[in-house]
Structure 1
């Protein structure tokens, strides 16, 4: 499986935010998107997730299921907001996302009990989501990535509100996903704790795109 972005440009209103961004990610590869606030990191991720249309360019998937028209159909998107209803319990929220997202061809998600165990909070799935701390809420948002199988994870500041222990836990989840042939694109100001990543540094309208591999 290969994710290909070719000549992507995007606008905010009438202003061009970034221009002519291209990259290729194969299975088991991660791209970390860095850059100052306002440089277009979140906009790029929304374009990749199919939430925004690019001004120019396109995103495509090679080697995936033939019935998939756009990579967004086999992607998880985790944005700044956790997309969980505060009045519902954690288990109820995860059950909704499990049914709504379903599984992409070639895999299956884990059960809700296993997902909350994986994010280190096995005893609070019965609580309303709104009762949780900011860090606990972010961990439970991570559990959404596990309850349905999607080979591409698109993550916007995934470790926001997490302490050091939760950072390490999240890094292990991402590593496990990559080891299974998944693809990860993450916009972040903080290291994700991965051994090797490809980096895209954005600077607003101008950008530097490169294959910079970092060894832990």
Structure 2
């Protein structure tokens, strides 16, 4: 518990209300360095809303989120510098090329001299041949892979990923698993919404079942069959 409070993410009694409707309540969990939480549940159970609360895009109607022992709020600059968020909207500029988008993301992340790593990631995700094309010319799957490249290259400690494998083929999913495993080996943390079991062959995942958000036992640290 001390490691989580000092270096990780702590969520306590979180409640989300949108348009006057309670989406979920009573959500509590901890994420320590090297841990990943897999968020599961039916459509409408609040998976995406939970991630938006964790990164400060939404405010909870009750409860709190702490990062490294400090309660976070919307647009907390110190927290934003540690977070890579990947939502359904890719946040990429269609008028810029693949390389231009990634160079901008590296600049925002404060990373200098990462050209070799950038080239390797583009190669792994089969985007090297599209590097100078405008993002608006990419397919949905290619844009998804580019967004994953943005997260990987950011080197930020906490990954908040909403269905990162949507639109990826089997090879893309394998690369995602490898990137996530390496992120965790280096002491990173992740909260991921996905229907894939990311704990079977990769890192051991905690599973947060949003369908039972009022159940105090909804966080199962060994969900694998």
Partner of 1:213: 222
Q: 1:63 to 1:55 in 2, by over 3 A?
A: closer
Q: Is the 8 A contact 2:27 2:213 kept in 1?
A: no
Instruction: Write the distance in 1 (CA, Å) between the matches of 2:211 and 2:101.
Output: 37
Partner of 1:84: 92
- Write the mapping of 1:17-56 to structure 2, written as runs, cut at 5 A: 17-56=23-62
Instruction: Write the distance in 2 (CA, Å) between the matches of 1:180 and 1:169.
Output: 17
Q: Is the 8 A contact 1:38 1:204 kept in 2?
A: no
Partner of 2:181: 175
Partner of 1:116: 122
Instruction: Write the distance in 1 (CA, Å) between the matches of 2:39 and 2:179.
Output: 19
Q: Is the 8 A contact 1:102 1:149 kept in 2?
A: no
Partner of 2:153: 147
- 1:118 is displaced (CA, Å) by 3.9
Q: Is the 8 A contact 1:151 1:182 kept in 2?
A: yes
Partner of 1:11: 17
Q: Is the 8 A contact 1:60 1:70 kept in 2?
A: no
CA RMSD of superposed structures (Å):
2.3
C-alpha offsets along residues 50-72 of structure 1, whole Å, 9 cap, x if unaligned? Answer: 111111111112279xxx87644
Instruction: Write the distance in 1 (CA, Å) between the matches of 2:38 and 2:144.
Output: 19
- 1:99 is displaced (CA, Å) by 1.6
Judge which range, 129-138 or 3-12, deviates more: 129-138
Q: Secondary structure at the match of 1:160?
A: coil
Instruction: Write the distance in 2 (CA, Å) between the matches of 1:40 and 1:109.
Output: 39
Q: Secondary structure at the match of 2:10?
A: strand
The number of residues matched between the two structures is 209
Instruction: Write the distance in 1 (CA, Å) between the matches of 2:127 and 2:64.
Output: 39
Q: Secondary structure at the match of 2:130?
A: coil
Q: Secondary structure at the match of 1:80?
A: coil
Partner of 2:109: 101
Instruction: Write the distance in 1 (CA, Å) between the matches of 2:110 and 2:31.
Output: 24
- 1:189 is displaced (CA, Å) by 1.7
Q: Which of 129, 139, 156 does residue 162 from structure 2 map onto?
A: 156
Alignment TM-score, normalising by the size of structure 2:
0.84
Q: 1:127 to 1:32 in 2, by over 3 A?
A: same
Q: Is the 8 A contact 2:84 2:159 kept in 1?
A: yes
